[in-house]
Amino acid sequence: MATCPECDAEIEVDEFDVDKGDQLSCPECGSTLEVTGLSPIELELSPDDDDEDEDEEDEEEAEDDELDDEEEEDEEDGGDWEE
């Protein structure tokens, strides 16, 4: 038995079914957890889980900025063709 570090829920984990570094999902709060110890089973929040939502938003914003820059360049270059 292990405990979720996020919500303190008891998670049933068989130490023979997991290896150190494996990732699990808490059935109560949905956090992604990493197995950091085997005997006894120790779980920590996965580093990817902490920033996952923020990283996705940052990537979308960066893509939007790149598209906006390309559109502005196309408009500037397009002005020569209209004469």
Q: Structure pTM?
A: 0.56
Burial of 34: CB neighbours in 10 Å, binned 0-12, 13-18, 19+? middle
Digit-coded pLDDT (tens) for 36-69: 999 899 999 998 755 555 555 556 665 656 655 5
Q: Using CA atoms, how far apart are residues 42 and 39, in angstroms rounded to an integer?
A: 8
Digit-coded pLDDT (tens) for 67-79: 555 555 555 555 5
SS (H, E, C) 8-56: CCEECCCCCCCCCCCEEECCCCCCEEEEEEECCEEEEECHHHHHHHHHH
